Structure 1
Amino acid sequence: MGGFELGDNQYGKAETRLVRVDRDGDTHAITDLNVTTTLAGDLAATHLTGDNSGVLPTDTQKNTVYAFARDGVGEIEDFALRLVRHFVTTTAEIKQARVRIEQYTWDRIAATGHSFARGAGTRTTTATCDGESAWVVSGVADLVVLNTTGSEFHGFPRDRYTTLPETHDRILATAVTANWRHASTGRDWAQAFAGARDRLLTAFADTHSRSLQQTLHAMGERVLEGDDDLVEVRLALPNKHHFLVDLAPFGLDNPGEVFHAADRPYGLIEGTVRRSDAPDAGLAWW
């Protein structure tokens, strides 16, 4: 029997919750984040012998997030880049750092400067630095969308276990998770995010869907078409099924008006759309 060796490994602090309030007189702004830091490098000693001389404590990683926030957060892409560059330059054994941030949306309630309501969707970013280069992925998660018509699903293979009827008009609903990779690390992040999110929604709304896969590809293409700095986009679209309820036992018809919204099980459609002339990213951490 052969020996053993240490394979790929990483460690970090998961889900550090950070809320920063910026106060401009009576008008306040909220930045509400969930930050996960992940580090990798020359860490064989701690795994093999328990020598922790190269292990930056995860508690230190958490504290760094809070300390950096004291100077302001700004756009989450910039905040993530600040953190990853710090981690790879302050501990010799750390060769690669990744920071993933989820930003929860808060909408201001009219006529107040300090009252907010939770908004739709979660803005996300992941920044990675290997000491020589850095790259950024932005995105959105849990963006729930629905079309009441304009969706079909038919022509699929049938076997002895197939009970799903074909449909030429159905509700199509999903909770969009999309991540798009930037070619550069210095740009107007807020504008880029707003544009990509708007194109996702517009593509979902104006695509006559014959499958959720087709819709996914249309959404990915639209995101890339509107921003030359974006290289590829990855999407995950769970099919949030809505089934027409049979009201015949009650002597009632149902002309496409009453549905049962099922939460599970659900179809999960995933895919990537990339520029045909873009080199393979080769980024294991993106």
Structure 2
Amino acid sequence: MDIRLGDNQYGKAETRLVRVDRAEAGHEITDLNISTALAGDLAATHLTGDNSGVLPTDTQKNTAYAFARDGVGEIEDFALRLARHFVDTVDTIHRARVAIEQYTWERRGHHSFVRGTGTRTATVTYDGTSATVVSGVDDLVVMNTTGSEFHGYHKDAYTTLPETNDRILATAVAARWRHAHPRNADWGEAYREATKHLVDAFADTYSLSLQQTLYAMGERVLRHRAELAEVRLSLPNKHHFLVDLSPFELDNPGEVFFAADRPYGLIEGTVVRDGAPDPGLAWW
């Protein structure tokens, strides 16, 4: 029986890094969670324990801190700097993936802050020749208090869900968009505009299903941002159930709800621009 080593990678997960830029006009915070994953000619460490080709995960962490001393800038640029450094300076490393979460802060005064809405994300994969850059947002919580229906679905012996012509539609958006031409991207503008179009499409769409809303959100982003090749969305359905107040001899004209925690429906999908260049590297 032949046995061999399959695909493998290693790295430093969730390095927390906070940089404070102390400008006279007011401080700025860059708050990051960085995960690195390296792959390449690493069979020796698995098969014989020879670590000569291994860049320690602690070194990967320290590199992120050292690079931040000169400033972070847009997280896509910072991830590209790290990924290229690992591949271009270590002979045994042939691919690097750097994933960054950025926790947003809004300044309230010269040096006081409150956490912002949503978590900005970026993932860069670099193989020594080409780079794939994927940006996004997590935990962007949105709600429509009306303008949503759900009916006409398939029913079987186990279906108990009643049809509705008016419901609350709420979700915590996780979205990723792939840049078709990373070398020419304006990361900050793309993030601000893509997030705006996601929210606008959610608000503007009269929804007959969360799937319909998902497609409308992805389509709106691609129609307004020509530099993006595709958008992937994961939308948990944050269910709100009307509370029965009849035991208390009260009516409930769509005003009092129970916000369910779990289980929840999870709707996921990709909206793709025809003719978009293939990324060449896995990106999701």
Task: With the length of structure 1 as denominator, give the TM-score of the two structures.
Answer: 0.97
* 1:159 Cα deviation after fit: 1.1
**Identity level (%):** 75
Q: What's the secondary structure of 1:143's corresponding residue?
A: strand
Q: Which runs of 5+ in 1 are unaligned?
A: none
* 1:26 Cα deviation after fit: 5.4
Specify the alignment match of 2:48 in structure 1.
49
Further displaced range: 23-32 or 52-61:
23-32
Specify the alignment match of 1:224 in structure 2.
222
Contact 1:239/1:267 (CA < 8 Å) preserved in 2?
yes
Paired residues for 1:270-285 under 5 Å: 270-285=268-283
Contact 2:180/2:277 (CA < 8 Å) preserved in 1?
no
Specify the alignment match of 2:70 in structure 1.
71
Further displaced range: 26-35 or 260-269:
26-35
Specify the alignment match of 2:260 in structure 1.
262
Specify the alignment match of 2:79 in structure 1.
80
* 1:105 Cα deviation after fit: 0.7
**Following the alignment from structure 2 to structure 1, what is the Cα–Cα distance between the partners of residues 3 and 211?**
43
- Name the Cα RMSD after superposition: 0.9
Summarize deviations over 1:199-240 as a string: whole Å, max 9, x none.
000000000000000000000001111111100010000000
Specify the alignment match of 1:192 in structure 2.
190
Contact 2:132/2:279 (CA < 8 Å) preserved in 1?
no
Q: Which runs of 5+ in 2 are unaligned?
A: none
Specify the alignment match of 2:124 in structure 1.
127
**Following the alignment from structure 1 to structure 2, what is the Cα–Cα distance between the partners of residues 285 and 200?**
20
Contact 1:151/1:169 (CA < 8 Å) preserved in 2?
yes
Specify the alignment match of 1:248 in structure 2.
246
Specify the alignment match of 2:60 in structure 1.
61
Paired residues for 1:140-155 under 5 Å: 140-155=137-152
* 1:280 Cα deviation after fit: 4.1
Q: Which amino acid aligns with 1:12?
A: G
Contact 2:19/2:31 (CA < 8 Å) preserved in 1?
yes
Q: What's the secondary structure of 2:67's corresponding residue?
A: helix
Contact 1:98/1:285 (CA < 8 Å) preserved in 2?
no
Contact 1:26/1:114 (CA < 8 Å) preserved in 2?
no
Q: Which amino acid aligns with 1:212?
A: L
* 1:13 Cα deviation after fit: 0.2
Q: Which amino acid aligns with 2:267?
A: I
**Following the alignment from structure 1 to structure 2, what is the Cα–Cα distance between the partners of residues 108 and 22?**
12
* 1:281 Cα deviation after fit: 3.5
Specify the alignment match of 2:3 in structure 1.
4
Q: Which amino acid aligns with 1:147?
A: N
Contact 2:134/2:283 (CA < 8 Å) preserved in 1?
no
* 1:285 Cα deviation after fit: 3.7
Specify the alignment match of 2:166 in structure 1.
169
Aligned length: 283
Specify the alignment match of 2:35 in structure 1.
36
Summarize deviations over 1:86-115 as a string: whole Å, max 9, x none.
000111010000100000010111xx2100
**Following the alignment from structure 2 to structure 1, what is the Cα–Cα distance between the partners of residues 55 and 262?**
41
Contact 2:151/2:165 (CA < 8 Å) preserved in 1?
yes
Summarize deviations over 1:232-283 as a string: whole Å, max 9, x none.
0100000000000011111111000000000100000000000122244343
* 1:168 Cα deviation after fit: 0.7
The ranges of structure 1 where at least 4 consecutive aligned residues each deviate by more than 6 angstroms after the TM superposition are: none
Summarize deviations over 1:131-152 as a string: whole Å, max 9, x none.
0011200000000000000001
Task: With the length of structure 2 as denominator, give the TM-score of the two structures.
Answer: 0.98
Q: Which amino acid aligns with 2:213?
A: T
Q: What's the secondary structure of 1:102's corresponding residue?
A: strand
Specify the alignment match of 1:21 in structure 2.
20
Specify the alignment match of 1:157 in structure 2.
154
Q: What's the secondary structure of 2:147's corresponding residue?
A: coil
